[in-house]
Structure 1
Amino acid sequence: MIAFKALVKAGVVAFCICSAAARGQAQPSGQWKLDSEGLAKVGTQVKVERFTSAAATQIKAAGFSFVRFGVWVNAMQTAAYQKRVGAAFAAAQEAGLPVLVTVRSTISLVLPSSNGSARNAQLRDAAKQLTSVIGGVVSAYGNNVLAIELWNEPELTTYWPTGNADTTFPIYMQAVCAGLKTLHKSIPVVGFGFATVPARGTQSDKLLESIRGSSAHCIDAVSYHAYGMNELQIQQASRYIRSRYGLPALITEWGISSGGKGGLTGQAAHINSFLMGRQSLNTPLISIYEWQDTVNGKNARERNFGLLDALGARKPAFGAAAIALRNQ
């Protein structure tokens, strides 16, 4: 995957600050409860490379209570990327926004020609790299980490470029969970950012079941993406996950694009309706995708999920979200 020694060496300076204080202020792992009014904690997704202090201030003023962004294990070996991650954490902390940190690799965890014991060894080595990066993030920024989210949409080849997930995911994640045992005492861990809710018989359910013994001691909640789901479906998902796995369900991505049939007004109406109805969703955390439009999306839909446009101007969806967040 990457040179692990180089990663550790490059990370020494970036992750040496305030480790004792960070661990001391880390939030307890059993924090996933609705607030006193039965409302979910609502945040929004940002991109590390575009997240600034000004954006953080806007997000906080709009009523969001956290931000979500990704940290890529294979990129953390470079000083430039470490600096970018550090700046994103600094911007969030300055605005009083905890960070839900999604940690994964963007490249394959094994060599294409590997199989059998060699492949399994590479998966376990990659797991050590991921847990090392998580340990560094928590050491440096733990006082502002809401939770660590393990991976993102592992049932999709795009986000799991490591071969057959049915066979590689369990070996890798069991090793990750083993490596997080000590760290998990100080920081909430959620998984695994599934593209589809783990309903009975789905691929995400099978992956979760495949590491059930490990995940029971590894994650505090199941995270999934709820695009296109209605209120009843979300309620059913929460009940199923709680019943089968004994864990709460968190929505770490939900959004609506202005690049579709409804346009700007349709996006705003859907966002307002969704957030105004969050009290009935039985979901303690929701992250809205996303803060700002993405210029390099593959189509109009993918480019226009933002509450702001690509230049930073507010779309009607921004006002709709702010009103919903203030009214409840």
Structure 2
Amino acid sequence: MVGIERVFRSGLLALCICCASAGAHAQLFKNWISNIDQSPKVGVQVKIERFTPDMARRIKAFGFSFVRFGVWMNSMQLASYRNSVSAAFDAADSAGLPVLLTVRSTVSLVQPAQNDESRTAQLRESATQLVDLISRLTGTYQKNLLAIELWNEPDLPAYWPTGSVDSTFPVFIQAVCEKLKSVHTSTPVIGFGFSSAPLMNTRSGRLLQSVQASSSGCIDAVSYHAYGMSSRQIQDVSADVRSRYGLPVVISEWGVSSGGKKDAVGQADEIKSFLAKRAQTGTPLMSIYEWQDSQQAKNSRERNFGLVDATGAAKPAFGSARAALSVK
């Protein structure tokens, strides 16, 4: 797996367009994270529970530059889960695949029925726990990490089970950013995996703005999920966010299901078209959701985003994506 040799300041990058050093650092990040020819790096999402060395080698041979998977803070107390995380990193390492690692909690960060003072204290304590986890993960796997992504879809209640996101997310992220300054790591940090583009007058846009207003910031790039968006729409978002925050934008999830409105052929066509235009998106990095269909997902759409089916057999999207990735 490719190591990261970039020197990373102990005071992490501020979310402030008026800061000249932030703009320069963001530009360096863009130049580092994209391919040498400035085309976007393209990766794919996997699930740690079934990610194997054989799968990793197949993904590498396919043409993907990295894999993305998540680690849940509340699950790390279980030895079996820690073993799964370690095995997933070993699998990626065996194929020379860097990891875009998303970290979050799947349970509430505060206890119910708390007053404001107590809730703030619990949010800050949870922030300490998350940063401690990041410190342990980077200490163990730093040479394997492409970047750390803070959270996943906090703008959706299902992924922010902590009450009002408008009031709790800024407090939590401000505390995370403050504490990250004491973590000396060369691993870039991106955030916050919004479920939709963080444009003005949207929930994700307001959350991003609230972090800028309430803290010095701590991320090298803004990440969001771009389901259903065209390359031109993504390009417009990239330009908008860069103009307001001075930061590059990365796509940590984009995909098409073969179990929704599209069948397997429709999925293949859309993926082929999207990847053919990836250089026009204005983003240095994008992750396709996902490598393999998920039998445990809640509905047909969620179960069928894979390039291969649940048994590992190639779907039509497999061939179209591989052909698109072979063309610069």
TM-score by length of 1: 0.90
Q: Is the 8 A contact 1:26 1:145 kept in 2?
A: no
The match for 1:31 among 6, 29, 32 is 29
Q: Is the 8 A contact 1:26 1:142 kept in 2?
A: no
Aligned-partner Cα distance in 2 for 1:168–1:187: 26
Q: Is the 8 A contact 1:275 1:325 kept in 2?
A: yes
Q: 1:249 to 1:25 in 2, by over 3 A?
A: closer
Q: Is the 8 A contact 1:184 1:218 kept in 2?
A: no
Aligned-partner Cα distance in 2 for 1:319–1:36: 25
Q: Is the 8 A contact 2:221 2:247 kept in 1?
A: yes
Equivalence for 1:308: 308
TM-score by length of 2: 0.90
Equivalence for 1:209: 209
The 5 A counterparts of 1:241-280 are 241-280=241-280
Equivalence for 2:222: 222
CA drift at 1:37:
2.6
Helix, strand or coil for the counterpart of 1:158?
A: helix
Equivalence for 1:295: 295
Helix, strand or coil for the counterpart of 1:192?
A: strand
Equivalence for 1:162: 162
Helix, strand or coil for the counterpart of 1:43?
A: strand
- Aligned-pair Cα RMSD in Å: 1.6
Aligned-partner Cα distance in 2 for 1:201–1:101: 29
**Which amino acid counterpart does residue 289 of structure 1 have in structure 2?**
Y
**Which amino acid counterpart does residue 314 of structure 2 have in structure 1?**
R
Equivalence for 1:61: 61
Identify which range, 188-197 or 174-183, moves more after superposition: 174-183
Q: Is the 8 A contact 1:27 1:188 kept in 2?
A: no
Aligned-partner Cα distance in 1 for 2:108–2:266: 38
Aligned-partner Cα distance in 2 for 1:143–1:295: 32
Deviations 1:146-205 (A, max 9, x none): 000000000100000000001000100000011111336521000000001011111111
**Segments ≥4 residues shifted beyond 3 Å:** 24-30, 213-217
CA drift at 1:297:
1.5
Helix, strand or coil for the counterpart of 2:158?
A: coil
Unaligned runs of at least 5 residues, structure 2: 9-27
CA drift at 1:45:
0.3
**Which amino acid counterpart does residue 161 of structure 1 have in structure 2?**
P
**Which amino acid counterpart does residue 278 of structure 2 have in structure 1?**
R
Helix, strand or coil for the counterpart of 2:291?
A: coil
Equivalence for 2:284: 284
Helix, strand or coil for the counterpart of 2:273?
A: helix
The 5 A counterparts of 1:103-252 are 103-183=103-183, 185-213=185-213, 217-252=217-252
Deviations 1:239-274 (A, max 9, x none): 110011110010000000011233111111111111
Deviations 1:257-316 (A, max 9, x none): 011233111111111111111011111000000010011112111110001101111111
Q: 1:112 to 1:78 in 2, by over 3 A?
A: same
Equivalence for 2:73: 73
Q: 1:26 to 1:169 in 2, by over 3 A?
A: farther
Q: 1:215 to 1:45 in 2, by over 3 A?
A: farther
Aligned-partner Cα distance in 2 for 1:297–1:78: 23
Q: Is the 8 A contact 2:257 2:301 kept in 1?
A: yes
Unaligned runs of at least 5 residues, structure 1: 1-21
Number of matched residues?
306
CA drift at 1:231:
2.0
Q: Is the 8 A contact 1:27 1:146 kept in 2?
A: no
Helix, strand or coil for the counterpart of 2:37?
A: coil
Q: 1:160 to 1:249 in 2, by over 3 A?
A: same
Equivalence for 1:10: none
Aligned-partner Cα distance in 2 for 1:44–1:31: 20
Q: 1:38 to 1:195 in 2, by over 3 A?
A: same
**Which amino acid counterpart does residue 49 of structure 1 have in structure 2?**
E
Q: 1:70 to 1:215 in 2, by over 3 A?
A: farther
Q: What percentage of aligned pairs have identical amino acids?
A: 57
Aligned-partner Cα distance in 1 for 2:214–2:157: 23
Q: Is the 8 A contact 1:177 1:214 kept in 2?
A: no
Deviations 1:75-114 (A, max 9, x none): 0011111111000000001100000000000000000111
Aligned-partner Cα distance in 2 for 1:187–1:25: 7
Q: Is the 8 A contact 1:216 1:245 kept in 2?
A: no
